[in-house]
Amino acid sequence: MSKSSIKSLYINGFKKFLNFKIEFNKNLNILVGENEAGKSTILEAIKLVIFQSYKNTDKSVLLNLFNINNVIKYQQNPSLETLPKILIELELDIDGSHPRSQDLFGQHNHKKKELFGLRFICEFSDELSDGNLSFNSTIPVDYYILKWETFSGRSYVYQNNLLKAISIDTSKNDTNSSYNYYNKQIFNNIFDSNERNKNRHFFRESLNNIFSGDNSLLIDDNRVFNINESKLILENLITIYDNNIPLESKGSGMENIIKTEIALAKAGETIELILLEEPENHLSHSNLRSMINRIKNHCEDSQIILTTHSNLITSRLGLNNILWIGTTQSKSFNNLDKNTVQFFHKSDDNKLLEFLLSNKVILVEGKTEYLLLALLYEQCYKTSLDEDNITIISLNGLSYKNYLDLMKDNEKKVAVITDNDAKQKKIDEAKTANDSSPNINFFMGKTIKDWTWEVCFYNINSKALDEIINIEKDAEYPVKEYSDGRSENLPIVLRKMINSKSESAYTILTSDRVFNIPDYIEEAFEWIRS
């Protein structure tokens, strides 16, 4: 029998999502996006449906779950029609041969199609109000009903779920109650209902025997100590021990590792869906690498949906598994060129998430430009790149083509500042590319004489640079010899700038001089700002 998984999620009116849909990969899903993009909300929505969150809580909690736009709409015009409501649907990939699969199959979904799935509905019930309620700015949450149903229209109960799932949230400090929540999930997934009942009965029976017969604790002739059976709930007492130490006594990093290890070990056996909230939290670099390898080794066994802010996770687990979270839908990267995926997999320090999370990006070739462009920008506009929400990324000699491959169907603005390497063909190709793309523009020296950044910068700042850059006695500062002669007869200061790029850049950066800015750099600034 094939494993079950989530095919898609549809959210209407829940928290930040007014109307949102996302399709999942069958195995590994990496949710990325800006802060407050809704990554955690997606996991919360899944848990709300599967684990029936908020089922037994006070209805006042609903005020924090409604989409704020729907709330405002109601407050501006209070009526039965404008009351906020929530609909969350999980379309499932279920083996139709399972004897209970038809319980999940039907047209009770927003698509009105025959599908497998579960849904959560939160809406006002006129029956609870007897039809006599007058509407005002206060949302009448006490008259709301919460329903969990299958797509067949039947009531859904978590204990009977065909999709065995577990949720691990490493972004929060655990309390005893949250440990209990994790322990309960493990207990419910590992043991079937018969085994759970057997364990509960044995536990209750054993405790009842403690004070029976000769072991009774008499208070007086009429009173005795005994066990209140209504308090004998096994799941509230169990905990997981690791080498004779309770899980809750472990440090945060080790706790996260053990929780994830347990879940992954049961992947494909008793757990089909693993929800991971920021698995990188509290982990050292080596432990994070180890966890990434574990996830990679088990993602074929179960469906894994995780959120992250880690460059290492997004790169090592594969760009093709990334789901970019937008306002109304997600963007998948599963159609990326294999070479691009391999490129980011092999290069750890690739600033991938910075690139994906930024609306305006300047790509530069090396550390020199990276260090100095921020200074020149402030000099030019009396504001910083950060203040203007512009991200600068140094490629450290790597190809910018792999970054631009991520730009398909994306409105992000990217300025590529690069050398022309004394090649007229490269200058011409950049002009053609700029004419054909509104979102990507290349900027470089306009003639082959302006073949690199250092040459362009030195030519218009030679007097200042000759004064501040220290030339050691008898130093030659060798520069790669080019057959086209561009490295011949270079001034000694320029030779040092090319030979010792980081040192020269730092000297410029820490001086109090105001420098002239090469034309193509100014043009890049103006374009990215527009």
pLDDT for the residue 409: 61
Q: What does the pLDDT read at residue 36?
A: 84
The stretch 72-95 carries a mean pLDDT of 95
Mean pLDDT calculated for residue range 454-474: 94
In sequence order, the β-bridge partners of residue 116 are: 105
Tell me the sheet residues that pair with 277: 169, 307
Residue 13: the pLDDT is 97
pLDDT beyond 70 at 179: no
Determine how β-strand 322-325 pairs with β-strand 330-332.
antiparallel
Flag whether pLDDT at 219 surpasses 80: no
Angle between helices 285-298 and 252-265 (to 10 degrees): 10
What average pLDDT does the segment 476-504 reach?
A: 90
pLDDT averaged over every residue in the chain: 87
469 pLDDT exceeds 90?
yes
Give percent above pLDDT 90 in the chain: 48
* Residue for token pair 């799932």: 165
Evaluate if residue 490 carries a pLDDT over 90.
yes
Name the pLDDT band for 17 (thresholds 50, 70, 90).
Answer: very high
Q: Where are the domains of the chain?
A: 54-156, 167-346, 358-529
Q: How far apart are CA 84 and CA 368, in angstroms?
A: 54
Cα–Cα distance measured from residue 341 to residue 196, given in angstroms and rounded to the nearest whole number: 45
DSSP-H helix ranges across 143-192:
176-190
Q: Which residue has the higher pLDDT, 473 or 304?
A: 304
Buried b (16+ CB within 10 A) or exposed e, 114-146: ebbbbbbbbbbeeeeeeeeeebeeebbbebbeb
The architecture that CATH gives domain 167-346 is 3-Layer(aba) Sandwich (3.40)
Task: Report how far residue 272's alpha carbon sits from residue 262's, in angstroms, rounded to the nearest whole number.
Answer: 13
Measure the CA–CA gap between 284 and 200, rounded to whole angstroms.
39
* In the predicted structure, residue 349 carries a pLDDT above the cut 70: no
**Interatomic CA distance for residues 384 and 169, integer angstroms:** 36
- Residue 524 contacts by C-beta under 8 Å, 6 or more apart in sequence? 362, 415, 417, 441, 443
User: Of the spans 44-48, 136-140, 370-374, which averages the highest pLDDT?
Assistant: 44-48
C-alpha 253/C-alpha 272 separation (Å) is 24
Dihedral pair phi/psi, residue 61, rounded to 5°: -65, -25
Q: Residue 79: its pLDDT value, please?
A: 93
pLDDT band at residue 214 using 50, 70 and 90 as cut-offs? low
Summarize the confidence of residues 22-30 as an average pLDDT: 94
Please compute the mean of the pLDDT values over residues 334-350 and round it to a whole number.
77
**Which tops the pLDDT comparison, 408 or 100?**
100
In angstroms, what CA-CA distances link 428 with 193, 414, 443, 451, 525? Answer: 71, 19, 11, 14, 21
pLDDT at 84 over 70: yes
Element (H, E) at 349: none
Question: How far apart are alpha carbons 239 and 482 in whole angstroms?
Answer: 69
Which segment of 7-11, 14-18, 331-335 scores lowest on mean pLDDT?
331-335
Distance of alpha carbon 307 from alpha carbon 311, whole angstroms: 12
For residue 93, which phi and psi values (nearest 5 degrees)? -100, 100
Of 78-87, 90-99, 184-193, 503-512, which range is least confident?
184-193
pLDDT for res 173? 53
Q: Residue 142: what pLDDT?
A: 92
User: Which of the four pLDDT bands, split at 50, 70 and 90, describes residue 259?
Assistant: confident
- H/E stretch holding 241 reads strand 241-242
The pLDDT of residue 359 is 86
What is the average pLDDT across 301-329?
A: 88
Contact status, residue 277 vs residue 40, Cβ threshold 8 Å: yes
- Amino acid at the residue 125: S
Residue 436 has pLDDT above 80, yes or no: yes
- Using the structure block, give the residue that is written with the tokens 């005795």: 224
pTM of the prediction? 0.79
The values of phi and psi at residue 23, to 5°, are -105, 135
Reported confidence tier of residue 460, pLDDT bands at 50, 70, 90: very high
Residue 242: the pLDDT is 76
| Residue with the larger pLDDT of the pair 378 and 242 | 378
Looking at residue 259, its amino acid is K
CA atoms lying within 13 Å on the CB side of residue 498: 23
